[in-house]
Amino acid sequence: MTGELSPIDRAKFVAAKRAADMVEDGMRVGLGTGSTAAWLVRCLGEMVRDEGLKIQGVPTSTRTAALAREVGIEVVSLDQAGWLDITIDGADEFDGDLNLIKGGGGALLQEKIVATASDQMVVIADAGKEVETLGAYPLPVEVIPFGWQTTRKLIEETLVSMDVLGRSAALRMNGDAPFVTDEGNHILDLHLQRIGNPRQLALVLNQVPGVVENGLFIDICDRVVIGFGDGRVEVRDINEGTIEHDRVDMAENDNLFTDLAD
């Protein structure tokens, strides 16, 4: 079955499998949202079923919560857990300082809350998500529905003084209707092309009335696990300044692929 996976899916799986090995018995684990995070949830579910791993999972979306329950992970709320040992999540982009763009799946608010309530955040990604400068991927900004068009205009006016190349903001749609987050908000996707100063932009965006949160994760990620289609993984630790190389044997995990549907 693994031979039927695309190289990108194989890369996502090996990154998730390597990160799952960082989870220890008794941990409270933040579970990310998105296609790569779904591999992680499946890997942890297999460990719960086959190895007797006992963890509590705090999901960052209703989709992740449903998948976690499906594979046998005990699901609790962040308020119930209090503080987390580790959060493992994907990213739409990451740079050399492990600054991230997240929110492609529409769960950036819960993802940021959960990640910052953790002793460590680990990002899992395929090698194509690494960039020299953030911004090629549209930056999601969660806004309240009331007056969202005014909020968009204020954001676009604010971008004039920012170190970015593009300044357009588009309302994310779900078919013919606006996309709605788990909190009942909308998302504006900012097409910036290049973000020269992510830290400044993250701070300024959150001062715009109507903005709930933005998808720039600055000084939050501790480690990134990068997967490659041939089974190789690279683990970078921003705090320790280390880089480790490993390999994941995909053949032993065929049962993970039989019913996976991201």
What was the pLDDT predicted at 247? 96
Task: Express as a percent the part of the chain with pLDDT over 90.
Answer: 93
The answer to whether 29 and 55 are in contact (CB under 8 A) is yes
pLDDT score of 262 more than 50: no
- 91 is known to lie in a ligand binding site: yes
Of the ranges 9-13, 145-149, 246-250, which one carries the lowest mean pLDDT score?
246-250
Q: Residue 235 — φ and ψ, nearest 5°?
A: -115, 120
Highest CATH level, class, for 2-129+219-256 = alpha beta
- 34 is known to lie in a ligand binding site: yes
pLDDT score of 3 more than 60: no
What would the CATH number be for the domain defined by 139-214?
3.30.70.260
pLDDT digits (tens, 9 = 90+) for 29-41: 999 999 999 999 9
| Active site members | 111
- 119 is known to lie in a ligand binding site: no
The answer to whether 212 and 143 are in contact (CB under 8 A) is yes
pLDDT digits (tens, 9 = 90+) for 229-249: 999 999 999 999 999 999 998
Tell me the C-alpha distance between 253 and 13, whole Å: 10
The tokens for 131 are 């960039």
Q: Global pTM?
A: 0.94
Closest CA to 182 of 77, 69, 105, 102: 105
For residue 2, what pLDDT band results from cuts at 50, 70 and 90? low
State the chain's maximal CA–CA distance in angstroms: 54
Q: What is the mean pLDDT of the chain?
A: 95
pLDDT digits (tens, 9 = 90+) for 137-146: 999 999 999 9
What was the pLDDT predicted at 39? 98
pLDDT digits (tens, 9 = 90+) for 97-118: 999 999 999 999 999 999 999 9
- 163 is known to lie in a ligand binding site: no
Tell me the C-alpha distance between 202 and 159, whole Å: 11
What was the pLDDT predicted at 253? 56
The tokens for 124 are 């899992």
- 158 is known to lie in a ligand binding site: no
- 105 is known to lie in a ligand binding site: yes
Tell me the C-alpha distance between 47 and 235, whole Å: 21
Q: Can you give the residue ranges of every domain in the chain? A: 2-129+219-256, 139-214
Per DSSP, the chain holds a count of helices (H) and strands (E) of: 7, 17
What was the pLDDT predicted at 4? 83
The answer to whether 235 and 17 are in contact (CB under 8 A) is no
What was the pLDDT predicted at 249? 86
What was the pLDDT predicted at 261? 41
What was the pLDDT predicted at 158? 97
Tell me the CB-side half-sphere exposure of residue 97, using CA atoms within 13 A. Answer: 12
Direct distance between the N- and C-terminal alpha carbons of the chain, in angstroms, rounded to an integer: 16
DSSP secondary structure of 47-92: HHHHH----EEEESSHHHHHHHHHTT-EE--HHHH-SBSEEEE--S
Q: Classify residue 232 as left (phi > 0), alpha (psi -120 to 50) or beta.
A: beta
pLDDT score of 66 more than 70: yes
- What is the dihedral angle through the alpha carbons of 204, 217, 78, 259, rounded to the nearest 10 degrees? 140
The tokens for 176 are 């013919």
pLDDT score of 19 more than 60: yes
The tokens for 217 are 């994760």
DSSP state of 248: -
Tell me the C-alpha distance between 100 and 160, whole Å: 22
pLDDT digits (tens, 9 = 90+) for 167-200: 999 999 999 999 999 999 999 999 999 999 999 9
- 147 is known to lie in a ligand binding site: no
pLDDT score of 1 more than 50: no
